[in-house]
Amino acid sequence: MSNSRNRRKHPEAVRREVLAETARLLLEKGPAGVTLDAVSQAAGVSKGGLLHHFPNKLALLDGLFDDLAHRFDQALAERMAADPVEKGRFTRAYIAVCFPAGGVAEGEEGWKALTVAMISEPHLRERLRSWVDGRAEVRAEAPLDALLVRYAVDGIWLSDLLGAPSMTPAQRAAMMERLIALSPS
């Protein structure tokens, strides 16, 4: 059985491969290096096959955003479902998902790539703002401490993504404990 025939039977696998190669190209070459030709070649799919899933570069970037945001939402929902205390649940889940003991967790390379793209793509920055604005939990937990926690976690997350000097494991654990203590309860 040929690889192309096998791919036709697994379009989701093709889509995942295309998104993975888009992320890799973003990291290696920046947004300008992400062209339909470069992605199709890197993913080993025809340009027509790529266009079947993503009709243009913006659709590729949107697809990467959608994939990462979906996985992030799932992780948040799982953490929130496991937290028996309703007040502050979103903030504690946000801390746990964005600030794990070892640094940025699942999808790290994808988030690094998307962060690179957001710098030059106002459309993606607006999508991120809309994602945050669309979370009723964020608005419900908007006292100053919850905002302080979210911005602190975002700063640490970005520092991790950029490979900036990190905290020791003990400092990281203490910081996470302090941030959880600041979450609404």
Q: What is the CATH number of the domain that holds 8?
A: 1.10.10.60
Structure tokens at 62: 């949107």
Assess contact for 75 and 97: CB atoms under 8 A.
Answer: yes
Q: What total of structural domains would you count in the chain? A: 2
Q: What is the average pLDDT value for the chain, to the nearest integer?
A: 84
pLDDT of residue 119 exceeding 90, the answer is: no
Domain match, 98 and 174 both: yes
Mean pLDDT of the region 3-30:
81
pLDDT of residue 7 exceeding 80, the answer is: no
- The pLDDT value given to residue 1: 39
Q: Show the DSSP H helices in the chain as ranges.
A: 3-8, 11-29, 36-43, 47-53, 57-82, 89-98, 108-120, 122-133, 136-140, 144-162, 169-182
Domain match, 160 and 117 both: yes
How does pLDDT run across 30-71, given as a tens digit for each residue? 889 999 999 999 999 999 989 999 999 999 999 999 998 888
Check which CATH number belongs to the domain holding 167 and give it. 1.10.357.10
Domain match, 36 and 81 both: no
Percent of the chain past pLDDT 90, that is, above it, reads 35
Look up the domain containing 24 and give its range: 1-55
Higher pLDDT, 102 or 77: 77
pLDDT of residue 101 exceeding 70, the answer is: no
Burial of 48 (0-12, 13-18, 19+ CB in 10 A): exposed
- The pLDDT value given to residue 172: 86
Provide the greatest CA pair distance for the chain. Answer: 59
pLDDT band of residue 2 (cuts 50, 70, 90) is: very low
pLDDT of residue 5 exceeding 50, the answer is: no
Assess contact for 142 and 56: CB atoms under 8 A.
Answer: no
> How far is C-alpha 14 from the geometric centre of its chain's CA atoms?
20
Using the 8-state DSSP alphabet, how is residue 164 labeled? Answer: P
Domain match, 157 and 81 both: yes
Measured between alpha carbons, how far is 138 from 146 in angstroms, rounded to an integer?
8
Domain match, 132 and 170 both: yes
Domain match, 42 and 80 both: no
Domain match, 38 and 77 both: no
- pTM of the shown model: 0.81
Domain match, 6 and 88 both: no
> How far is C-alpha 154 from the geometric centre of its chain's CA atoms?
12
Higher pLDDT, 34 or 143: 34
- The pLDDT value given to residue 63: 94
Assess contact for 81 and 55: CB atoms under 8 A.
Answer: no
Domain match, 101 and 48 both: no
Q: Return the minimum-mean-pLDDT range out of 3-7, 92-96, 139-143.
A: 3-7
